[in-house]
Amino acid sequence: MVQLAHRASLLVVLCLLSGCASRWEPNAAFKQTALNSQTVLSATQRLREKTGIDGDPIQLDDERYRDYLDKVRTAIKAKWGYPCVRDAATGHCEYKSAEVVIVFGLLKDGRVPGAWPQHPVGVQIAESSGADVMDQYAVIAIFLASPFPPVPEAMLHGHPGVPVVTRFHYTRR
């Protein structure tokens, strides 16, 4: 089962790198996420336990750190694709609308903790899209985009890293 998941993850990366997935630029690909959501808090706690990154999660569109977070967002969007979801009954590939909420850690030097696909502890899915391939595309985009520029001291608040929360929107055209 783990080997199958590993193979599927590698196929997703190959597809992303080769451009076989449809690319799109939705206007609201990264929307503000409510930080008091229980699922976000649970994902932040898992991130803390696995990586030691502590502190309140920062939204990817937080105006206080706009210059830095724009660089992070742009890097992720450049690696993010819109996968099709195969219908189990018909085998047809369909592009569906969905969203996934992710909490990911940024270390002081801009790295995401862990290594994909062997040990992706630095990225936690708070709310699944309901389609594993869509969730994995969002996770993989974060790892492919890293390392990011070093995190500004003002964001760290004395911690070795910072949790960042974002919502990926997949919008069917």
Is the pLDDT confidence value at 121 over 60?
A: yes
Among candidate residues 27, 168, 49, 60, the one with its CA nearest the CA of residue 114? 49
Is the pLDDT confidence value at 94 over 80?
A: yes
pLDDT value of residue 80 = 92
pLDDT value of residue 87 = 85
CB 168 within 8 Å of CB 99: yes
- pTM of model > 0.85: no
Domain spans in the chain, listed from the N-terminal domain onward:
2-170
Averaged pLDDT of the chain = 80
pLDDT value of residue 65 = 94
Is the pLDDT confidence value at 161 over 90?
A: yes
Distances from the Cα of 33 to the Cαs of 27, 36, 72, 76, in angstroms? 16, 9, 16, 17
Q: Which amino acid is at 128?
A: S
For residue 103, name the pLDDT band (cuts at 50, 70, 90).
very high
Distances from the Cα of 137 to the Cαs of 76, 108, 141, 154, in angstroms? 11, 25, 6, 30
For residue 102, name the pLDDT band (cuts at 50, 70, 90).
very high
Is pLDDT larger for residue 35 or for residue 130? Answer: 130
Main-chain phi, psi angles of 142, to 5 degrees:
-65, -45
Is the pLDDT confidence value at 99 over 80?
A: yes
- How does pLDDT run across 55-74, given as a tens digit for each residue? 888 998 889 999 999 999 99
For residue 34, name the pLDDT band (cuts at 50, 70, 90).
low
Is the pLDDT confidence value at 119 over 70?
A: yes
Side-chain half-sphere CA neighbours of 8 within 13 A: 12
pLDDT value of residue 7 = 39
